[in-house]
Structure 1
């Protein structure tokens, strides 16, 4: 009992000291790598869950230069392996913010679009020994705000605060007072979520040593650490998520103007670039699966169809007026032509008689191209399983989602 009293008596003094130290952390944090790409990751699919990561800590994606290797990218890949559908991950984060600051991030955000919100923050609160009554008030206030703005069925997942000693720039003793304070705040958060319908708590994820190599151990946060957190969050989301809302009507088939597509193509940075094995591999599999003469992954600009990957034929570019894939992209639906020479929808001369294509989406949901198979001879539509074609198109979409987006010159 004397130890508890002594420790408690030191809290006010320690709180002052830690608040002073906390002001020096931004200088240390400035040397830590952070992503330079957009804070959105996606595993494109016909049906997807839309998730918002909110707060600081792992939501910042410390330690890497692209969100594809951080929590958003890993979660976009981990969640579909459990739910069987796609995932769209948005991030709203600010370094150094505490639980009391999180509400400001969503003040002008439409939360109705999300199937779940994941809150990650609190290391700063634990480091500065935030009073427990203040913490409780802020957690309850944030949950109430989110609940009032989200759809009734959408859950809130509160991820426990990581021990400050695990954050290298904090330089605190393992199992010291700040770590104990994090444990206290987490226990309080867990009780609050137990008492609040639609709110759920999950413990912070210890990254197993076996998952880290020597380079990981000296990094601030490595891709392996982000992957471990993503797997833990995905497991919890899989339990609490409602059935996903189909995006076919909302995104896949909605009208898109040309400027929207050009912007998405510019951000991807793959237009008019060299062939890549990751795309050619999928295109070759499509040709082999359907037994057609050719197959291609095509990107559609305002003037041309440009084939990023092609097997069976050597044709890099087609005018937009003679492009089957342009119709596929514009419609947002699978497009099958049994015999172009006898189809009134085809108004141009072409050596291609049979065509089947499925649209491909960029990580932001914009249709930018198509995966297609084709023949110089007519074929029945019954020879094509559109479901398989969709799966292969989604695989290319996942490759696009895992690539860092880069600024490129405007397409011609």
Structure 2
């Protein structure tokens, strides 16, 4: 029985190892938004993982986000602007959390491309049904009542991943069951459509994804979305409002810090996280920046998402005046059911707070490992030394930003 806990645990371990082995595969890390055409635009939210994440390309313009903006604009004859929310490590259970407090009223449509990681990890169908139902309820509550939602089916599990025969067989069976459930839920949800995904056209030697494969995928999605946008627009342009998307940072150094994050951090922060990874023999060392409901990866010793919801992170529990050490998330009631921590397969955490010039906690210096470890494996004074050096770099960034403001 494929719901057997042992088989599911093996599938989840395979998924974690596959992602770990994909460290050299590029993926989009720039601003998750794309526009095509001039004039008033149809605003579309792309929510998802898998192909929506942008595997195999270095820009969202080349990935599904940008290709979808172009395909929708071509199909409707109007400008289109697409925003992406999500990441490979987002799943159905955490999708509402990834959306956070985002204002949905300015979107003319939502496209959901999600489920590949749930399929190959053999997520129980009942859990998928619960989570998709909750997601659609959240979207419908936030959107204007007539804005369409298109939920795409789970693509063939062999589309982008180098997958073993057993996982392919079990994962595809699970994907088929999940698609049947999603189709039924969408049919009973107002202004919601289920859109099966045909196999995308793949480029030879680019199994993780390419601009060509995303263009093929976007054309198929746009064919289903464009008529719904036409209907939505036909009900009255006065019912649509311009989308406001301006980021205001509470800490003056944030723009410079996060601009450098595209290169895994400033030179000094890169030096610190790389040295800490070796010093402590961990899987990943990170400097984070915390603001609002997000945790931003400011520097890391390996590729990471750009940001994640703060509530899905260890950092949400780091005290402002001391360290947090989690020997094994599986045994900690705060983290053992956390969907992001379970998927990232980093059960050990040690983090120390970072403060701005005024003494306010704005981030952490943290260590993560793919294996549980004893708390005593991390010398607290060494972790604090690294944190102090990272904090000094944040203070340098803050002074430079304040100097520009007062000059």
What CA distance in whole angstroms lies between the structure 2 residues aligned with 1:228 and 1:213? 10
Q: Is the 8 A contact 1:71 1:230 kept in 2?
A: yes
Choose between structure 1 and 2 for higher RCO, CA contacts under 8 A separated by at least 6 residues: 1
SS in 1 for 2:27: coil
2:119 corresponds to 1:131: no
Residue 225 of structure 2 is aligned with which of 223, 233, 237? Answer: 237
Residue 37 of structure 1 is aligned with which of 25, 30, 44? Answer: 30
Q: Which residue of 1 aligns with 2:142?
A: 149
| 1:4-403 map, 5 Å | 8=1, 11-172=4-165, 176-208=169-201, 212-214=202-204, 217-241=205-229, 242-243=232-233, 245=237, 250=242
Q: Is the 8 A contact 1:47 1:248 kept in 2?
A: no
* Structure 1 runs not aligned, ≥5 long: 1-7, 253-262, 268-409
Instruction: Check 1:102–1:249 CA distance in 2 against 1; reply closer, same or farther (3 A cut).
Output: closer
Q: Count residues with an aligned counterpart.
A: 243
Q: Is the 8 A contact 1:51 1:87 kept in 2?
A: yes
* Structure 2 runs not aligned, ≥5 long: 245-254, 260-403
SS in 2 for 1:151: coil
What CA distance in whole angstroms lies between the structure 2 residues aligned with 1:41 and 1:172? 37
TM-score by length of 1: 0.54
What CA distance in whole angstroms lies between the structure 2 residues aligned with 1:126 and 1:202? 17
CA deviation map 1:226-267 (0-9, x unaligned): 011100110111122211747999589xxxxxxxxxx9xxx9
Instruction: Check 1:11–1:250 CA distance in 2 against 1; reply closer, same or farther (3 A cut).
Output: closer
SS in 2 for 1:164: coil
What CA distance in whole angstroms lies between the structure 1 residues aligned with 2:126 and 2:241? 46
Residue 169 (structure 1) shift: 4.2
SS in 2 for 1:136: helix
Q: Is the 8 A contact 1:102 1:142 kept in 2?
A: yes
SS in 2 for 1:112: coil
What CA distance in whole angstroms lies between the structure 2 residues aligned with 1:94 and 1:138? 17
Q: Which residue of 1 aligns with 2:369?
A: none
Residue 84 (structure 1) shift: 1.4
CA deviation map 1:354-400 (0-9, x unaligned): xxxxxxxxxxxxxxxxxxxxxxxxxxxxxxxxxxxxxxxxxxxxxxx
Q: Is the 8 A contact 1:43 1:87 kept in 2?
A: yes
Instruction: Check 1:77–1:247 CA distance in 2 against 1; reply closer, same or farther (3 A cut).
Output: farther
CA deviation map 1:109-156 (0-9, x unaligned): 010010011111111111121111111111101000111011101111
SS in 2 for 1:229: helix
Instruction: Check 1:238–1:17 CA distance in 2 against 1; reply closer, same or farther (3 A cut).
Output: same
Q: Is the 8 A contact 1:98 1:122 kept in 2?
A: yes
Residue 219 (structure 1) shift: 3.8
SS in 2 for 1:158: strand
Q: CA RMSD in A?
A: 2.7
